[in-house]
Amino acid sequence: APAARPPHVAMMVTPGMGHLIPLAELAKRLASRHGVTTTLITFASTASATQRAFLASLPPSVASLHLPPVDLSDLPQGSAIETLMSEETARSVGALTEVLTRLRETTRLVAFVTDLFGMDSFDAASSAGVERKYLFYPTNLHALTLMLHLPELDTSIPGEFRDLAEPVRLPGCVPIPGPDILAPLQDKANPCYSWMLHHAARCREADAILVNSFDAVEPDVAAVLRREEPGRPAVYNVGPLILTESKATGAGDRATAPAPSRAACLEWLDQQPAKSVIFVSFGSGGALPTKQMRELALGLELSGQRFLWVVRSPSDEGTVSDNYYDAESKKDPFIFLPEGFVERTKDRGFLVSSWAPQIEVLAHEATGGFLTHCGWNSTLESLVHGVPMVAWPLYAEQHQNAVMLAEGVGAVIRVPEPKEKEAIAAVVKELMAGEGRGAMVRSVVAELQKAGLQGLRDGGAATAALDEVANNGLLARTSPLARGTA
Ligand code: UDP
């Protein structure tokens, strides 16, 4: 009988492993705590080997399908990724409506969830008659606050953010200098700005907003958003959601599963002293311009520290590389390194091409630091494993994450401008062994690790927030969603 079927949630995931991984994790938590099954809906454009392998590894409670390919060839060359994701969503509304309509026939579909670039998919959810619509915000409360205020900032700031003399001050937030504000907001003439404004306005259509953050990492803004505000959906901090074992819900699976072959970089880490290695990686899409890549290599060499570096072919546009849609590096990235670098550092450096098992690296006892682009998933993974960070932001909201983490809680040290080898070596050494800033960052991160892990336990804040979403809204057919914890 239909009533016996488990409640089902459809989640539409815009491109990027950084969106897919936390949504899949949310799905797993809904399954284990609330008996909810999920269908993850992805785009054909991102059906990379990495993504396929990831989707195939998910437990049976989390199914997946991808939407038919969408033609984006009419968009100008070099369109921003935010524009591509938004266009792809808007052009998929018809196909998504059909998918949701079919899911309503075959499952007990109770809710639809999408991430921040997928706001137009709410139209499909409405057309298909899905009762509840949620926004999953894969970054943090600072970025969400900026989006919630964007319509008014658009009017009150006539020029560009990057030209502002004063930092942008928002309730509960660390002041963010104009040039560090979200990259897609930096040029009002670019279509991606209009798209962001569009998403900002539509955010408020959500029944509630789930954010992949936790109070300790941005306490003041958490307090602000916990308060009810007319016209704004309730905001729930459900993080830190990071990748966990796919079979984590079945006790004992880990012990009985055949031992998978271990990545060479982990074997290398096994040979290194505790907390002696800095892990260097720029997320699923980040790549450096050739010149910066060379400075980084020389800086790591000069620091004298052990390092494990995920090397990508350089992107000489200086922004996101074409790696974003497919995390395999296109060319052999090692040929771009300074002459003799590999040979000179072979005793204390290990290079990986394109992709490393990041969570296992961060969890390894030999890892003592992380030089990161401050993508939010990487940041959370680092905090959950108690690994202090050097911030080298590249694009999206990474610059404002770096400011917030450095000036707010103090969980990172930023690489000063210009990013030259001496400066890079100095911050790497300070993070790993310094007695000043480095020691402070290491102790702050140890505290944040405790808070983050505590939140995910029974009775913890993230668990309670998800329970509230489930019990008061998502799974309750009649009662309106109660407002509560941020
Ligand atoms: N990741 C990984 N190996 C890599 C690079 C990235 O496993 O070599 C994972 C990383 O653990 C994180 C995600 O990809 O979960 C990247 O997300 P993030 O938000 O940090 O950055 P984005 O890719 O969105 O820039």
Q: Is the pLDDT of residue 485 over 50?
A: no
Average pLDDT, the chain: 91
Atom number of ligand 1 nearest to Cα 395: 25
Q: Decide: 381 in ligand 1 pocket, CB within 6 A.
A: yes
Which positions ≥6 away from 407 have C-beta within 8 Å? Answer: 174, 175
Atom number of ligand 1 nearest to Cα 398: 25
Q: Is the pLDDT of residue 442 over 70?
A: yes
Mean pLDDT of 427-449: 98
Task: Assess contact for 463 and 455: CB atoms under 8 A.
Answer: yes
In the chain, the amino acid numbered 424 is I
Q: How confident is the model at residue 256 (pLDDT cuts 50, 70, 90)?
A: very low
Q: What is the 3-state secondary structure (H, E, C) of 11-40?
A: EECCCCHHHHHHHHHHHHHHHHHHCCEEEE
Question: What confidence score (pLDDT) does residue 100 get?
Answer: 98
Q: Which two tokens stand for residue 65?
A: 């399908």
State yes or no: ipTM above 0.95.
yes
Cα(312) to ligand 1 centroid in Å equals 13
Pocket test for ligand 1, best of 243, 355, 378 (most atoms within 8 A of CB): 378
Q: Which two tokens stand for residue 435?
A: 């007695």
Pocket test for ligand 1, best of 284, 320, 359, 400 (most atoms within 8 A of CB): 284
Task: Assess contact for 30 and 120: CB atoms under 8 A.
Answer: no
- Say how far apart CA 119 and CA 89 lie, in whole Å: 8
Selection from 125, 101, 129 nearest residue 112 by Cα: 125
Backbone CA torsion sign across 24, 82, 452, 391: positive
Question: What confidence score (pLDDT) does residue 338 get?
Answer: 96
Please state, for a pLDDT cut of 70, what percent of the chain lies above it. Answer: 91
Task: Assess contact for 238 and 211: CB atoms under 8 A.
Answer: yes
Atom number of ligand 1 nearest to Cα 359: 11
- Say how far apart CA 80 and CA 324 lie, in whole Å: 11
Atom number of ligand 1 nearest to Cα 21: 15
- Say how far apart CA 81 and CA 363 lie, in whole Å: 31
- Scanning 134-243, the segments in alpha helix (DSSP H) are 141-156, 191-202, 219-226
Which positions ≥6 away from 359 have C-beta within 8 Å? Answer: 242, 243, 381, 385
Q: What is the pLDDT of residues 303-335, one digit of tens each?
A: 999 999 999 999 874 444 445 555 555 568 899
**What is the value of pTM for the model shown?**
0.91
Atom number of ligand 1 nearest to Cα 352: 8
Higher pLDDT, 480 or 222: 222
Atom number of ligand 1 nearest to Cα 310: 8
Q: Decide: 14 in ligand 1 pocket, CB within 6 A.
A: no
- Say how far apart CA 442 and CA 455 lie, in whole Å: 20
- Say how far apart CA 357 and CA 373 lie, in whole Å: 16
Question: What confidence score (pLDDT) does residue 27 get?
Answer: 98
Q: Which two tokens stand for residue 133?
A: 């619509």
Cα(244) to ligand 1 centroid in Å equals 14
Mean pLDDT of 63-71: 95
Q: What is the pLDDT of residues 374-423, one digit of tens each?
A: 999 999 999 999 999 999 999 889 999 999 999 999 999 999 999 999 99
Using DSSP, state whether 132 is helix, strand or coil.
strand
Q: Decide: 17 in ligand 1 pocket, CB within 6 A.
A: yes
DSSP string for 181-194? S-GGGS-TTSHHHH
Q: Decide: 308 in ligand 1 pocket, CB within 6 A.
A: no
Q: Is the pLDDT of residue 172 over 80?
A: yes
Q: Is the pLDDT of residue 459 over 80?
A: yes
Question: What confidence score (pLDDT) does residue 1 get?
Answer: 46
Cα(486) to ligand 1 centroid in Å equals 25
Pocket test for ligand 1, best of 358, 376, 384, 385 (most atoms within 8 A of CB): 358
Question: What confidence score (pLDDT) does residue 247 get?
Answer: 40
Residue ID of nearest Cα to ligand 1 atom 2: 358
Any idea what DSSP says for residue 328? S
Any idea what DSSP says for residue 473? I
Long-range own/partner contacts, residues 333-342 (CB < 8 A, 24 or more apart): 336/290, 336/293, 336/294, 337/293, 337/294, 337/297, 337/311, 338/294, 338/297, 338/298, 341/297, 341/298, 341/301
Cα(381) to ligand 1 centroid in Å equals 9
Q: What is the pLDDT of residues 112-170, one digit of tens each?
A: 999 999 999 999 999 999 999 999 999 999 999 999 999 999 999 999 999 999 999 99
Mean pLDDT of 179-194: 97
Q: Is the pLDDT of residue 196 over 70?
A: yes
Cα(108) to ligand 1 centroid in Å equals 33
Atom number of ligand 1 nearest to Cα 362: 11
Q: Decide: 284 in ligand 1 pocket, CB within 6 A.
A: yes
Selection from 482, 460, 458, 459 nearest residue 470 by Cα: 482
Helix-strand-coil split of the chain, %, nearest 5: 45, 15, 40
Q: What is the pLDDT of residues 271-313, one digit of tens each?
A: 999 999 999 999 987 899 999 999 999 999 999 999 999 999 9
